[in-house]
């Protein structure tokens, strides 16, 4: 009987040691897998970061090359236009079309509106405390309705094809990310634009109810940058 008890004790001890060994091996394997995952993730993030930096560098290089070619084309066009009255008339017409389409920098009198989110309250932010894409759309519409001839937001020129939309917690204009403070420049009559934008019941006054920080300034001279994207038309064609 005593021999059987010892056998049971020995077998139990062996089972315990085996179980403990399995646990140690399992934890070691889990630790190795976790470290491997972290290492693979880190390598993947570094590779992705390198690719993004390369693409940004390549994009900047192509943008510089494009601007250089555009400058050459502009100089060639002006040189050609100086040789005949017909060419000069076409050059004048092309310059006006580029101005209307937003392909040239323009300057003049106007208005500058700066928008900043409200300070965080004890209850955090609410929708009324933040500047949204729809706010920018309504302000741009008011400016054009008030006679603005050119408008930009954070140096993104507003054209007939400009999209202003929300993408997560950022706003995209012309597919470029922009963020607060939003600096809106508008060329036009400073007095007329100021009177429209600061009138009681106007959109800016409604935004002030949400404690949005708003600054409106008349300017005797300001510059609105040109549109740097491309206009794409899928359905429109010239009627013969």
Tens digits of per-residue pLDDT, 35-44?
555 555 666 7
Please state the φ and ψ torsions of residue 236, each to the nearest 5 degrees. Answer: -90, 140
**Average pLDDT estimate for 167-179:** 88
Residue 144 has pLDDT above 60, yes or no: yes
How many whole angstroms separate alpha carbon 236 and alpha carbon 10?
89
Residue 172 has pLDDT above 60, yes or no: yes
Length of the chain: 240
Tens digits of per-residue pLDDT, 81-105?
566 677 777 777 777 877 888 889 9
Q: Is the model's pTM score more than 0.85?
A: no
What domains are there in the chain, each with its CATH number?
Answer: 106-224 (3.30.70.1880)
Instruction: List the one residue out of 93, 207, 113, 102 whose CA is nearest residue 149.
Output: 102
Residue 62 has pLDDT above 60, yes or no: yes
Tens digits of per-residue pLDDT, 22-38?
555 555 555 555 555 55
How many whole angstroms separate alpha carbon 83 and alpha carbon 94?
16
Tens digits of per-residue pLDDT, 182-220?
999 999 999 999 999 999 989 999 999 888 999 999 999
pLDDT confidence of residue 88? 73
Task: Give the DSSP per-residue string, the chain.
Answer: -HHHHHHHHHHHHHHHHHHHHHHHHHHHHHHHHHHHHHHHHHHHHHHHHHHHHHHHHHHHHHHHHHHHHHHHHHHHHHHHHTT-HHHHHHHHHHHHHHHHHT-S-EEEEEEEEEEEPPPP-TT---GGGS--HHHHHHHHHHHHHTT-SEEEETTEE--TT--EEEETTEEEETTEEE-SSEEEEEES-HHHHHHHHTSTTSHHHHHHTTT-EEEEEEEEEEEEPPP-S----SS-----
pLDDT confidence of residue 190? 97
Quick one: pLDDT band at residue 47, thresholds 50, 70, 90? Answer: confident
**Percent residues over pLDDT 70 in the chain:** 70
């Amino acid at each position: 009987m005593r021999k059987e008890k010892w056998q049971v004790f020995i077998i139990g001890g062996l089972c315990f040691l085996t179980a403990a060994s399995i646990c140690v091996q399992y934890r070691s394997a889990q630790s190795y897998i976790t470290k491997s995952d972290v290492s693979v993730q880190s390598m993947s993030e570094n590779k992705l970061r390198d690719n993004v930096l390369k693409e940004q560098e390549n994009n900047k290089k192509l943008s510089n090359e494009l601007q250089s070619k555009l400058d050459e084309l502009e100089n060639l066009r002006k040189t050609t236009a100086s040789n005949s009255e017909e060419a000069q008339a076409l050059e004048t017409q092309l310059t006006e079309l580029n101005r209307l389409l937003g392909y040239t920098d323009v300057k003049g009198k106007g208005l500058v509106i700066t928008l900043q989110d409200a300070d965080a309250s004890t209850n955090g932010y609410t929708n009324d405390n933040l500047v949204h894409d729809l706010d920018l759309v309504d302000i741009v519409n008011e400016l054009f309705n008030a006679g603005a001839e050119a408008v930009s937001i954070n140096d993104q020129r507003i054209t007939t094809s400009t999209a202003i939309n929300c993408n997560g917690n950022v706003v995209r204009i012309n597919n470029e990310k922009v963020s607060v403070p939003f600096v809106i420049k508008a060329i036009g009559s400073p007095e007329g634009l100021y009177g429209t934008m600061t009138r009681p019941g106007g959109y800016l006054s409604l935004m002030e109810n949400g404690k949005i920080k708003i600054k409106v300034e008349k300017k005797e001279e300001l510059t609105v940058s040109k549109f740097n994207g491309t206009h794409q038309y899928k359905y429109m064609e010239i009627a013969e």
